[in-house]
Structure 1
Amino acid sequence: MSFTGPALVATDNAHPGIEYEAEWGASFLVGQALPWWPYLLRLTQLINKWEPGAPRAVAEVPPNANE
């Protein structure tokens, strides 16, 4: 996790052995909007189902002590 969201590791097609971390908001790197899960919705089963082009997920916010 970085300050702007999940860690996004990227590579340059010309130099695939070189990796760098890009900011999550840099969706232009992957050519589409990237999902963002707010803290209470960081549910493993939702995150594991995501793939490029997947429809938006609808989920209930789990109970939290801050409610």
Structure 2
Amino acid sequence: MNGFTKTDFYELIYKNERLSFLQYIRKDIICDVCYITLKNVITGETMTFDKSEIRGLRIAGDEANAS
């Protein structure tokens, strides 16, 4: 999950839910837990995800590259 950019859009599978049109905001590590914050550019909603629960993450249009 290194190499995020502020200009790419991401698709995410989190707890069996697929989310699209996400833009990277930031990565935080709190008490040894890594969190990724993304913003849905369509709705404006900002969401924070526990990295260990992410099942798939890709740049929109690329092959899945969950890590």
**TM-score, with length taken from structure 2:** 0.32
Whichever structure has more helix as a proportion of its residues is: 1
* Structure index of larger Rg: 1
Whichever structure has more strand as a proportion of its residues is: 2
**TM-score, with length taken from structure 1:** 0.32
